[in-house]
Amino acid sequence: MAKMKLALVGSVTTTNATPTVIVSQAISPSSVAYARATVTARDTSSNAGYASQKTAGITANGSGGISLVGTVATLLETCDAALGIVGLGAPTFTITFTSGVVNVTVTGKAGVTLAWDCDLLLLIN
């Protein structure tokens, strides 16, 4: 398999705390990948914001399975106090892997309209 660099972007609006996929990408079997996701969210009424960047290593086997190498690392996570405390009810996001697909999933806050943007970089070998 040839080496690839994929840059994907996505946007979504949430009004509750239901996890929502903002970007997803299938990974070819028998590959190794590095994922870096940068996510921002803005409260559309108060302009309070959230920003975070996370990274993960991924391996995909020939049968389409995909696994995380180590843990998802948080490089940065910050949130305006108006949206809550990071880790305690504030908006957040995760990088997950299911059935050969990398997903960036955002989780908003109940009763708050958040405009989300995501930039996902995948380096695949």
pLDDT by residue (tens digit) across 65-112? 677 787 889 998 898 888 887 776 789 999 988 778 899 999 999 999
* Position with higher pLDDT, 31 vs 114: 114
Average pLDDT, rounded, for the chain: 89
The confidence band for 58, taking pLDDT boundaries of 50, 70 and 90, is confident
Angle at 122 between CA 120 and CA 83, to 5 degrees: 25
Report the chain's C-alpha Rg in angstroms.
Answer: 15
Q: Is 33 within 8 Å of 12 (Cβ atoms)? A: no
What's residue 110's pLDDT? 93
First to last CA, the chain: 7
Judged on CB neighbours under 10 Å (0-12, 13-18, 19+), 50 is buried
pLDDT at residue 1 greater than cutoff 60: no
* Position with higher pLDDT, 41 vs 4: 41
Query: Which tokens hold the place of 92?
Result: 């957040």
How many domains does the structure of the chain reveal? 1
CATH number of 12's domain? 2.60.40
Residue 66 is part of which domain span?
A: 4-124
Q: Is 18 within 8 Å of 107 (Cβ atoms)? A: yes
What's residue 113's pLDDT? 96
Give phi and psi for 58, each to the nearest 5. -135, 140
